[in-house]
Amino acid sequence: MDKLVHDDKGTTISNDGATIMKLLDIVHPAAKILVDIAKSQDSEVGDGTTTVVLLAGEFLREAKPFVEDGVHPQLIIRAFRTAAELVVKKVKELAVSIEGKSMDEKKSLLEKCAATTLSSKLVGGEKDFFAKMVVDAVASLGPDSRLNMIGIKKVQGGTMRDSFLVNGVAFKKTFSYAGFEQQPKKFDNPKILLLNLELELKSEKENAEVRLSDPTQYQTIVDAEWNIIYEKLDKCVKSGAKIVLSRLAIGDLGTQYFADRDIFCAGRVMEEDLQRVASATGASVQTTVNNVIPDVLGQCEFFEERQVGNERFNIFTGCPGGETATIVLRGGADQFIEEAERSLHDAIMIVRRALKNSNVVAGGGAIDMELSRYLRQHARTIAGKSQLFINSYAKALEVIPRQLCDNAGFDATDVLNKLRQKHALASGEGALYGVDINNGGIIDTFSSFVWEPSVVKINALTAATEAASIVLSVDETIKNPKSEAAQGEAMGGRGMGRGMGGMRGGRGGRGMRRR
């Protein structure tokens, strides 16, 4: 299910764990740790943000009864860390490599990974369509895939199926002056000049004062201003460029001048779009028009300006640098398109990760159930208290398939019992069984292509264990009374009595009151 978060900035509908965590105004210091691990998972892997928070919460829930019974938290932390090391090792054993396959095979495997990520999102209905688009976008980046080289542009209207991928750069038509209509809107193999300067008449900035002895000299000063701008424009034309893009404004005089000479120009292009054009076409951004040599000009096979919805887009395709792509998203409501963008961001991150670390594991809760079974077996070989703690860690891992069942509307107890039975088979054939979201019950998720990169699982398990350990290792919360004074008056002094009661309860000072 999605969450609707309403704040000063507006309304956001999302089910991306990291997005929701960022939007929540969390005051509780321990809960902030969970926000941080969701953010770290998002920046490191891109997906599995909800998984991290769920796991950390479940580890703490399992540890709570032990702490209340007077077990020292350090014992629990040690056992949890041992368990985390064991499961990470096990994930690496169970992972299947997709290395060494041909590019076509690899693409179809990566599409499966992307589709798994998208299935829980708002765009899940069109996951195959978007999975293919995401894989094509990432594949066009080449080995050194920087995330900012994939642009996502949002255009309201149309359906999701109207979204398309440009193997090159696309950006919205910028603000234009009169004379723009006469410019050609299509070019084959044009030269491209990128500038970071204004091409318009500027009055003197420094409040300069010019004293004239003869009124006729006034005209020469006015002419000088015009000559400067004409000289700049003339140099742009002589460079042989057919497309001139600038980060700053190109005024009406420049627009008209270029239109008369069949040159396309656009001013006030956004910095990131300009950088993507530069890396795609091989052009260098110039801060002056003097000495524009052919080496600084870029080139692409085809440029056109075309209508997308009610916006006009400038589209560069067939770029020699080639290491950039743009996804143009269509859809009804603004919130919907923004959620689609967040979903695609997750999918893009996953595909990039899977390309670099090409190991995948079975999704749909299969890997979690297998790890849980493995830990339970391992716990029996341990003498001492940590047997109980590792067992509880194993139980906590079942939260993932349980949550999947709840989200899909199935009876979690029923499905989990089937999964436990399947995974307990001595032959090991049940290791790949997870929740069947489409029909209810269980299914071999690996053969139904519900995959996720192993790096997502490893990162989630380690981050969640660390967060749970940090919270467990705290036994006192110390507040600064001065900074709390203003809040304390509003609270009416209730907090004080509570803290003292906890302290008197002997071990209650651990941060959990005795019931």
Q: Is 368 a catalytic residue?
A: no
Q: Is 47 a catalytic residue?
A: no
| CA separation, residue 515 to residues 59, 500, 507 (Å) | 21, 15, 12
Q: Is 216 a catalytic residue?
A: no
Catalytic residue among 16, 42, 47, 368: 16
Residue 402 and residue 471 in contact, taking contact as beta carbons nearer than 8 Å: no
**DSSP at 67:** H
Contacts of 90 (CB under 8 A, 6+ apart): 370, 371, 374
Torsion of CA 339, 342, 344, 345, to 10 degrees: 170
Structure tokens at 13: 């509908």
Question: Which burial class, exposed, middle or buried, applies to 476 when counting CB atoms under 10 A from its CB (0-12, 13-18, 19+)?
Answer: exposed
The dihedral sign for the CA sequence 119, 325, 187, 175: positive
- In 183-297, alpha helices (H): 217-238, 252-260, 271-281
Catalytic residue among 12, 50, 255, 324: 50
Number of helices and strands in the chain (H, E): 17, 19
Q: At which residue do the structure tokens 């932390």 appear?
A: 77
- Report the alpha-carbon distance of residue 411 to residue 408 in Å, rounded: 9
Catalytic residue among 19, 49, 116, 255: 49
Q: Is 50 a catalytic residue?
A: yes
Torsion of CA 363, 365, 369, 375, to 10 degrees: 80
Cα–Cα nearest to 41, from 54, 30, 29, 28: 54
Structure tokens at 256: 């008209």
Catalytic residue among 42, 47, 273, 346: 346
Question: Which burial class, exposed, middle or buried, applies to 415 when counting CB atoms under 10 A from its CB (0-12, 13-18, 19+)?
Answer: buried
| CA separation, residue 62 to residues 58, 326, 391 (Å) | 6, 45, 10
Amino acid at 482: K
Residue 281 and residue 192 in contact, taking contact as beta carbons nearer than 8 Å: yes
H, E, C per residue of 86-154: HHHHHHHHHCEECCCCCHHHHHHHHHHHHHHHHCCCHHHHHHHHHHHHHHHHHHCCCCCCCHHHEEEEE
Q: At which residue do the structure tokens 């398309």 appear?
A: 164
- Report the alpha-carbon distance of residue 88 to residue 90 in Å, rounded: 5
Give the residue numbers marked as catalytic. 16, 49-50, 346
